């Protein structure tokens, strides 16, 4: 039992003990006939036994017919015992206990109806068996008992309301803890995905450029290859620095707009034509970051998979919608399987409310086009995209 339940049980036993034993030193019980005296002490014994069973043990009593029968028997025995042992008014304490117990098992209206039925019957029986009890005494006994029982019912109902509120608060707290756990898992998954995209874009872009530079140097005379080897060494240092930055930083600052110009000159053998590159300075940080990564991945694919010699990058803003198109003259592809790079493009633009499409160009070449709204709702409203070349 919880501490509160244990205190309630002890208080109930004290009330029953006072009802049973207190009249003895004060003059004893009413002068009952032997059969009634046997009935009285039998009632007391059963009252103590049933009260201990339902309030003093860990047995769970579900609200069903059997439980109501047991508790109902306890109620009847208490009213019967109160009528037979009514000396000095200690019966009021016993009936307060039984009202509290009964109200914990049945609705409030049933408890009130029980009092209205059994209290007059108990008072009438008290007047019959106790010849010394006057009509006035019986009336005051009934009124006092009714007042006490009403207070008990109000107290039990308030306790039930508080307990329901506590249970609802516990359920709400549990739901909140589960939601927080799910949010942490979602945040961790989003962070892992972000780092994976950054590693792919940075490492893939730098390694592709490094591979192309070394491949070019391999086919040149030593005196001409020196500059390419120097470029490869510089690219490897930049690659190491960028990988460290991605791994160690929880939040990587988005690339600057000047990265577009840097990308256009980072590929030996690939001539990149930029159109309206200054528009990148007008973009929100997240959209600017997504754009830089899209251009980077598109140029990487153009060199690595398309063997392109030229690429065109065009930026445009129209009616509050930003679009970027990257086209190359490589070997192209009829169908493109979505790998980590293309998936990263799509996810980044989806996060800012945009979308990405790609396709091969008949006769050679590949086109990647993305668009996204530039307004405040850019991260929540996905816009349809039409291909433009």
Instruction: Give the pLDDT confidence of 190-239 residue by residue, as tens digits.
Output: 777 777 766 666 666 667 777 777 878 777 887 777 887 877 777 777 77
Does the residue 78 lie in any domain? yes
HSE, side-chain direction, 13 A CA sphere, residue 267: 26
Tens-place pLDDT, residues 146-162: 888 888 888 888 888 88
The larger pLDDT score, comparing residue 28 to residue 381, is at 28
Q: How does pLDDT run across 55-86, given as a tens digit for each residue?
A: 777 777 777 888 888 888 888 888 888 888 76
| 44 located within any domain | yes
Domain count of the fold of the chain = 2
Note whether residue 248 is domain-resident: no
Of 237, 338, 252, 236, nearest to 292 (Cα)? 252
Do residues 238 and 203 lie in contact, with contact meaning Cβ atoms separated by under 8 Å? no
Q: Give the separation between CA 230 and CA 248, rounded to whole angstroms.
A: 27
- Domain annotation covers residue 110: yes
pLDDT of residue 312: 92
**What range does the domain containing 106 cover?**
3-133
In a domain, 143, yes or no: no
Q: At residue 172, does pLDDT exceed 60? A: yes
**Range of weakest confidence among 115-119, 197-201, 370-374:** 197-201
Which residue among 133, 162, 181 closes a domain? 133
Dump pLDDT digits (tens) for 16-42: 887 777 777 766 666 677 788 788 888
Is residue 322 in some structural domain? yes
pLDDT band at 250; cut points 50, 70, 90: very low
More confident residue, 13 or 327: 327
> If you average pLDDT over every residue of the chain, what do you get?
78
pLDDT band at 380 (very low <50, low <70, confident <90, very high): very low
3-state SS, residue 325: strand
The span from the CA of 141 to the CA of 268, in Å, is 107
Helix (H) or strand (E) holding 51: helix 34-55
User: How many angstroms separate the CA atoms of 224 and 243, rounded?
Assistant: 30
- Report if residue 185 sits inside a domain: no
Can you say how many angstroms the Cα of residue 64 is from the centroid of all Cα atoms in its chain? 35
Last residue of a domain, one of 101, 133, 165: 133
Q: Is residue 330, in this structure, part of any structural domain at all?
A: yes
Determine the pLDDT at residue 128.
Answer: 82
pLDDT exceeds cutoff 80 at 140: yes
Q: Domain ends where: 90, 112, 133?
A: 133
Q: What is the CATH number of the domain that holds 348?
A: 3.30.565.10
DSSP string, 129-169: H-TT--HHHHHHHHHHHHHHHHHHHHHHHHHHHHHHHHHHH
């Amino acid at each position: 039992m919880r501490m509160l339940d244990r205190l309630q049980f002890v208080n109930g036993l004290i009330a029953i003990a006072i009802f049973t034993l207190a009249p003895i030193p004060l003059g004893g019980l009413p002068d009952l006939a032997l059969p009634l005296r046997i009935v009285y002490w039998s009632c007391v014994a059963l009252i103590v036994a049933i009260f201990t069973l339902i309030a003093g043990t860990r047995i769970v009593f579900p609200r069903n017919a059997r439980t109501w029968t047991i508790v109902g028997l306890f109620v009847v025995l208490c009213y019967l015992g109160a009528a037979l042992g009514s000396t000095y008014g200690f019966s009021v304490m016993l009936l307060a206990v039984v009202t509290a117990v009964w109200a914990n098992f049945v609705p409030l209206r049933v408890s009130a109806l029980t009092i209205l039925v059994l209290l007059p019957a108990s008072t009438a029986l008290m007047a019959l068996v106790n010849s010394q009890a006057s009509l006035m005494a019986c009336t005051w006994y009934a009124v006092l008992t009714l007042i006490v029982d009403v207070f008990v019912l109000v107290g039990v109902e308030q306790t039930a309301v508080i307990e329901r509120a506590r249970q609802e608060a516990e359920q709400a707290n549990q739901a909140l803890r589960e939601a927080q756990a799910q949010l942490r898992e979602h945040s961790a998954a989003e962070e892992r995905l972000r780092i994976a995209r950054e590693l792919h874009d940075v490492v893939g872009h730098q390694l592709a450029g490094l591979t192309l530079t070394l491949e070019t140097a391999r086919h040149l005379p030593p005196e001409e290859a020196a500059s390419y080897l120097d470029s490869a060494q510089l690219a490897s240092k930049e690659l190491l620095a960028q990988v460290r930055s991605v791994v160690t930083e929880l939040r990587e600052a988005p690339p600057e707009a000047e990265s577009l110009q840097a990308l256009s000159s980072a590929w030996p053998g690939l001539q990149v034509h930029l159109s309206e590159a200054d528009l990148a300075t007008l973009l929100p940080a997240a959209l600017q970051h997504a754009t830089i990564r899209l251009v980077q991945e598109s140029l990487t694919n153009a060199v690595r998979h398309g063997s392109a010699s030229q690429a065109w990058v065009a930026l445009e803003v129209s009616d509050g919608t930003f679009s970027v198109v990257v086209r190359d003259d490589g070997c192209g592809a009829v169908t493109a399987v979505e790998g980590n790079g293309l998936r990263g493009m799509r996810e980044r633009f989806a996060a800012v409310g945009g979308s990405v499409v790609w396709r091969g160009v008949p006769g050679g070449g590949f086109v990647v086009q993305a668009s996204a709204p530039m307004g405040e709702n850019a991260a929540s409203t996905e816009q349809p995209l039409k291909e433009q070349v």
